[in-house]
Chains A and B, each alone.
Chain A
Amino acid sequence: MTAITERKLARPADRSPLDHASYGDRIFRGLLTLGAVTIPLLLGFLVLELWQGARLAMGKFGLGFVTNSVWDPVAVQFGAFPLIFGTLLSSLIALAIAVPLSLGVAIFLTEFSPEGLRQPVAFLIGLLAAIPSVVYGLWGIFVLIPALRTTAFPLLREVLGFLPLFRGPIYGPSMLAAGIILAIMVMPYVMSVSREVLLAVPDTQREAALALGATRWEAVITAVVPYARSGIIGAVILGLGRALGETMAVTMLIGNRHEIAASLFAPGYTMAAAIANEFSEAVGDVHLSALAYVAFLLFVVTVLVNAGARLLIWRVARGSAAGGKAL
């Protein structure tokens, strides 16, 4: 105890002119701390608000809300299963299409493309991310859907019709159409993040593989991509996050029906789309509360998916000390 007090007392004596700088430091640190504290606080309020709004529906439907498929505002019966299903499925389709394509482009840009092409292409892809989602939605309605309905979907049904996924009537607006538009919207993010990550792979890794007699392509597969893998997973998660929450374009293309269908040609619905569509014209407190419940669930699903993905990155990165840094 005495030692501590002594040191405290001794302080003013050995204060140097440098100490003046620390006032600015302290203010700056205070501001930053405030900012850092605000975020969890905001999050807390958000969850609380959603919880408040959803209380009525939670009391009425309980956890059964998650597994129930009926959504009938007239009979005041609500279940969110088709919405959860639609959200996950459309995002999954989006990733299945977007990830290979984005990775391919990123690998091409960092490893194979001529120098002069790299920046312009990366810039253009960056622009794609800046287009508002209504515009994607409109493009989807006027260009994508007609093209899908008249050519792509019938062809898919012809070739892959033995799978239940590609059977049944073709309307146009559908789970698959939404998945495709989501894929297009998510691609710029996955592409540019994986590009950054690949660029961060040291040349010594490429050279080590090339010196073993690998071709450029083999060097990419054996050395570059594995080195960057946790960063690439991060890119995919970013894309997934975008896809899960995307609202406007999806609601314009998915058909907006509270149904679960085996066929990807059938319409569906997502949580975000349902909230956006029904909130303004909700009839009655229970309907409103059910939508808040959906919002709450969307929050939970997003958190779960992200946590799961973090876990995946962590497990992958554990094996590769260097790879983890790329993120």
Chain B
Amino acid sequence: MSDLQPVASRTAPPLVRAPARTSASEVRMETVEVSAMYGKFTAVKEVSLRFAANRVHALIGPSGCGKSTFLRALNRMHELSEHGWITGRVLLDGQDIYGSRVNAMQLRRRVGMVFQRPTPFPTMSIYDNVAAGLRVHGRHRRAELDTVVEQSLQQAALWDEVKERLRASAMTLSGGQQQRLCIARTVAPSPDVVLLDEPTASLDPQSTQRIEELLFELKRDYTIVIVTHNMQQAARVSDTTSFFYMGTMVESGPTRQIFTTPADEQTEAYITGRFG
């Protein structure tokens, strides 16, 4: 946490928003030979990938192969890790997010993240949790917050369960509900890209299924990148799948193709469960 690299001051000009969301196959985010290091250790080696708008892109691979590290390079969270640094370029709508004029705080508003374990703010109510991201960015108007909170909870398929008790503590929710609350919190500032790092790893099968269904809804509005350990999940929810192995991206392609006719031996070995 300590070695925060200098980031552009908050007064730096905001990232330019793309004019409009157009055709579905448009590339929203792209990495160009991204390597991510912890000090001298290279966790991710020269990964180049494209993330299309309104698609779910799954990252799979054995434990420790660098999926989380790569994901965290996409919203500049990696640089908050101790001794974390990266090389290469990450483009969001064509603009390099590591460019000197880019404000990391503004960027993270456009590239939201959901973690493996639900991380609601325990002292806040359900409402305040969803509104937290907006308040951080100085949006305090009651009417506006009300609308966005309702919309976000609806998007996260949680509204019907909590609409009667928005003022209750977030800790009164079940684990699965808490994770959907975190999804609502992430989409509330209306990001372009939503990153999910094994969002169902700590959940029961039912909650997992709800979140998988939710991804189909969410991809209508967002570009989604999801890390998962669960092969079936990747096969069910994603349009594109990339297989990571020991820090490198081995193979990437349409999910159906990766799971039926993988080009690489390692990929095949992994998806058929021979290792990992």
Residue positions of A touching B, CB distance < 8 A: 111, 114-115, 203-216, 218, 222-223, 226-227, 229, 319-323
- Nearest neighbor of B191 in chain A, beta-carbon distance: A213
Contact with A227, one of B10, B121, B186 (Cβ below 8 angstroms)? B121
Interchain CA distance A115-B122 in the complex, whole Å:
28
- Nearest neighbor of A214 in chain B, beta-carbon distance: B136
Q: B80 at the A/B interface (Cβ < 8 Å)?
A: yes
Further pairs besides A211-B115, A321-B171: 20, Cβ < 8 Å: A111-B1, A114-B2, A203-B1, A205-B119, A206-B1, A207-B119, A208-B119, A208-B121, A209-B132, A210-B108, A211-B75, A211-B77, A211-B108, A212-B109, A212-B185, A212-B186, A212-B189, A226-B121, A319-B169, A322-B122
Q: B62 at the A/B interface (Cβ < 8 Å)?
A: no
B residues 101-115 near A (Cβ < 8 Å) are 105-109, 112-113, 115
A-B contact pairs, 11 of them (CB 8 A): A207-B119, A209-B132, A210-B108, A211-B75, A212-B136, A213-B107, A223-B121, A226-B122, A319-B169, A320-B123, A323-B123
B115 to A207, Cβ gap below 8 A?
A: yes
Q: B137 at the A/B interface (Cβ < 8 Å)?
A: yes
Q: B193 at the A/B interface (Cβ < 8 Å)?
A: no
CB distance from A201 to the nearest CB of B (A): 10
Tally inter-chain residue pairs, CB-CB below 8 A.
81
Do A319 and B123 contact each other (CB < 8 Å), given the known contacts A211-B75, A211-B77?
A: yes
Q: B226 at the A/B interface (Cβ < 8 Å)?
A: no
Question: Chain B interface: which size bin?
Answer: 20 to 34
B105 to A214, Cβ gap below 8 A?
A: yes
A320 to B122, Cβ gap below 8 A?
A: yes
B residues 92-139 near A (Cβ < 8 Å) are 105-109, 112-113, 115, 117, 119, 121-124, 132-133, 135-137
* Most B Cβ at <10 Å: residue of A212, A222, A229: A212
Interchain CA distance A111-B186 in the complex, whole Å:
24
Interchain CA distance A30-B184 in the complex, whole Å:
54
Contact with A213, one of B119, B169, B189 (Cβ below 8 angstroms)? B189
A226 to B136, Cβ gap below 8 A?
A: no
A213 to B124, Cβ gap below 8 A?
A: no
- Nearest neighbor of A114 in chain B, beta-carbon distance: B2
Q: B4 at the A/B interface (Cβ < 8 Å)?
A: yes
* Most B Cβ at <10 Å: residue of A206, A213, A320: A213
B117 contacts across to A, CB distance below 8 A: 204
- By secondary structure, the A interface counts as helix
A111 contacts across to B, CB distance below 8 A: 1
Using an 8 Å CB-CB cutoff, how does the interface string of B1-18 with A read, 1 for contact, 0 for none?
110100000100000000
CB distance from A120 to the nearest CB of B (A): 15
A213 to B106, Cβ gap below 8 A?
A: yes
- Nearest neighbor of B168 in chain A, beta-carbon distance: A319
Interchain CA distance A145-B124 in the complex, whole Å:
45
A114 contacts across to B, CB distance below 8 A: 2
Q: B182 at the A/B interface (Cβ < 8 Å)?
A: yes
- Nearest neighbor of A230 in chain B, beta-carbon distance: B123
- Nearest neighbor of A206 in chain B, beta-carbon distance: B1
- Nearest neighbor of A225 in chain B, beta-carbon distance: B123
- Nearest neighbor of B188 in chain A, beta-carbon distance: A212
B133 to A213, Cβ gap below 8 A?
A: yes
Contact with B119, one of A204, A226, A321 (Cβ below 8 angstroms)? A204
B1 contacts across to A, CB distance below 8 A: 111, 203, 206
B75 contacts across to A, CB distance below 8 A: 211
B182 contacts across to A, CB distance below 8 A: 208
Interchain CA distance A114-B2 in the complex, whole Å:
7
CB distance from A308 to the nearest CB of B (A): 21
Contact with B171, one of A213, A214, A322 (Cβ below 8 angstroms)? A322
Do A212 and B123 contact each other (CB < 8 Å), given the known contacts A222-B132, A320-B171, A322-B171?
A: no
